[in-house]
Amino acid sequence: MIRVAVDAMGGDRAPQAEVAGASDALATLPDDFLIQLVGRTQVIEAELAKHPKIDRSRLEVHEAADVIGMGEKPLAAVRRKPESSIVRGLTLQKAGGSDAFVSAGNTGAVLAGSTLLLGLHHGVDRATVAALFPTGGAPTLVLDGGANVDCSARELVGFAYLGSVYMRDLMGRPDPVVGLLNIGEEEEKGGAVVREVHQLLKQAPRINYAGNIEGRDILPGPWQRVPVDVVVCDGFVGNIVLKFYEAAGRLFVGLLKDSVPDIFERPAPAISRLVRLLDYSEYGGAPLLGIRGVSIICHGSSSANAIKNAIRVAVQASRSGLSQHIGAEFAQREAAAQS
């Protein structure tokens, strides 16, 4: 049975959202899995008392006395707080006692902790946060989503491989199309690093590279030069676009409400579908790709629904063998480079 450790202390709404999300996941997700809530036992048990119907036979509580705050410096916090919920949850996975970790806590600390404790696959230079962008149809994967501000050309090429394996394994796209985020399609566009990545990706084996793409090509529609599944960019750009999109979605819904005041009185399915189309919580957190294991990073303000869906992604990633496939992909790359 797949065991998913959930950081019960991370996130702005912890432990309420985490415990409610775990409860929803156990009640509604079809898979056979077990949840390990990691955090202060007393706090967790007090919250669990509000969910008397939760299936305790598929739920464990793992004590972690400490918490890493949202504002703490990631690496220092991970080193200084071995009893924190993040370090405890990841250590459990490292020791073989868990299969996946889900946290809405300090993103940098989850990244640093996952990299340090679980390690990177051979040939992976840097782990990346893979952010799915809702589009109303098939989502687009953007990576890096904010973990890595400055990226080398080699790291960005690595993201193309990581994203391709992810889309194959978890989104069922056999030959995902990769685009490099730039300000024009021409060869000479962008800074030195982006231009180098473009040249490297053109020759990269097993990457279905569509070339440079522009901001508009991230979202599917007639304005796209080419449809893409995977968008490669550094974490500075990725994070800004990701957060901008969240605000734009909320702005649109607000403007719609102002323009057509009775819109939300209409038959519920149509409008609730529209709002859900743009709802990140349906995707349930961004997997950290490149590490030896499964670690899912959730938005700090994650709702119970977002946590539930992150648990779903964690189960899928574990069951599909995503991490193993990434390891195999990079082993093949390394072998080819040396031959």
Q: Which is nearer to a copy of itself, 118 or 232 (CB)?
A: 232
Q: Report how far residue 155's alpha carbon sits from residue 238's, in angstroms, rounded to the nearest whole number.
A: 14
- Determine, following the binding rule CB under 8 A, whether residue 244 of this chain makes contact with a copy of itself: yes
Nearer to a copy of itself, 135 or 320 (CB): 135
Task: Write the interaction track for a copy of itself spanning residues 203-242; mark x where CB under 8 A is met and - where it is not.
Answer: -----------xxxxxxxx-xx--------x-xxx-xxxx
What one-character DSSP code corresponds to residue 40?
Answer: -
At its nearest, how many Å lie between a copy of itself and the CB of residue 184? 8
Which listed range, 154-162, 258-266, 312-320, 321-329, lies at the site for a copy of itself (CB under 8 A)? 258-266
Q: How far apart are CA 332 and CA 330, in angstroms?
A: 5
H helix or E strand, kind and range, residue 101: strand 100-103
Residue identified by tokens 């409008």 is 271
Number of residues engaging a copy of itself in binding (CB under 8 A): 55
Q: 3-state SS of 126-147?
A: CCEECEEECCCCCCEEEECCCC
The residue among 81 and 299 lying less far from a copy of itself, judged by its C-beta, is 299
Token output for 131: 């952010």
Q: Does 248 bind a copy of itself (CB under 8 A)?
A: yes
According to DSSP, the residues that pair with 209 across neighbouring strands are 178
- Rounded Cα distance, 289 and 325, in Å: 11
Rule CB under 8 A: say whether 273 interacts with a copy of itself.
yes
- Which of 102, 95, 111, 106 has the alpha carbon at shortest distance from 67? 106
Least Cβ distance, residue 308 to a copy of itself (angstroms):
23
Q: Which two tokens stand for residue 1?
A: 């049975």
- Of 1, 247, 268, 337, the residue at the interface with a copy of itself (CB under 8 A) is 247
Q: For residue 188, with 0-12 CB atoms within 10 Å meaning exposed, 13-18 middle and 19 or more buried, which class applies?
A: exposed
Strand order in the sheet with 59-63: 59-63, 33-39, 2-7, 100-103, 295-297, 286-289, 128-129
Q: What is the CA radius of gyration of the chain?
A: 20
**Is residue 268 part of the contact set for a copy of itself (CB under 8 A)?**
no
CB of 136 to a copy of itself, least distance (A): 5
Instruction: Identify which of residues 204 and 256 has a Cβ nearer to a copy of itself in the complex.
Output: 256
d(CA 166, CA 286): 11
Residue placing its CB nearer to a copy of itself in the complex, 119 or 220? 220
Give the x-and-dash track for 157-196 against a copy of itself (CB under 8 A).
Answer: ------------------------x-x--x--xxx--x--
Q: How is the beta sheet containing 208-213 ordered, strand by strand?
A: 131-133, 140-143, 230-232, 177-181, 208-213
Residue 79 engages a copy of itself in binding (rule: CB under 8 A): no
Quick check: 82 binds a copy of itself (CB under 8 A)?
no
Return the number of the residue (31 or 214) whose C-beta is nearest a copy of itself: 214
50 binds a copy of itself (CB under 8 A): no
Task: Say if residues 34 and 3 touch (Cβ distance below 8 Å).
Answer: yes
Name which of 236 and 283 has its Cβ closer to a copy of itself: 236
Residues at the interface with a copy of itself (CB under 8 A)? 71, 135-136, 146, 149-150, 181, 183, 186, 189-191, 194, 214-221, 223-224, 233, 235-237, 239-252, 254-256, 258-260, 263, 266, 270-271, 273-274, 277-278
